[in-house]
Amino acid sequence: MKLVLLRHGQSKWNLENKFTGWTDVELTKKGESEAKRAGELIGKEGIKLDLVYTSVLKRAINTMNICLSNFDNNKPDIFYNWRLNERHYGSLQGLNKLETAKKYGDDQVLIWRRSYDISPPELSSDDERHPRFDKKYESLDKSILPSSECLKDTVKRFLPLWGKTISLKIKEGKKVMIVAHGNSLRALVKHLDRISDDEIISLNIPTGIPLVYELDQDLKPIKSYYLGNQNDIREKIEAVAKQGESK
């Protein structure tokens, strides 16, 4: 059984090195090209998708649409779910990572970016950036909308969707792709690969590169691999790791 994971292509705030979180920003031209290339790579791999799950943020949705339009595939069923959203970066959203590192120090920003269980400073409930003011979430109970999240929170948010829905479809033999975000995908990778809380800090997922998992009947990974030029992929992973450094 195969599962394809795809982080959205480069967004405008990726380019500007800003904390994005739940802020709904567009893809850059490079991001669109990454999405196109992802579709070509999946098509070359010969994967026919039955179901696609994505977040409700347009950088993931647009990546999915571009990706799917660039390989010959039976039209899969598409599902949108807020549980696949990026981790919420609280009051850091919109701030430049480099400038934030210069102000607070590399170590503090690394903690905010990569610590498993330490959240960035929260948004106040009356901050216009708070998701309770966004129409996309008006049907949700306001008490479950985050003011800030650590990766542990993202895991807790994501896993019910995985356990109650997506994993069951894979066990039925459906070929699934999840198009989401760096941290929501890290949450799943942590679960699948049984990565420790400490080790997950150093895991980085590049934009626009399909990550394929081959799973056994119990959804335990047999192997996983990125599609594409492996040297380019390593460079992109290293670039993600350095985003929060002041130097």
Clarify whether 88 is annotated catalytic: no
Known catalytic membership, residue 214: no
DSSP-assigned states of every residue in 141-181: -GGGS-S---HHHHHHHHHHHIIIIIHHHHHTT--EEEEE-
| Active-site choice (34, 45, 86, 199) | 86
Q: Report the catalytic residues.
A: 8, 86
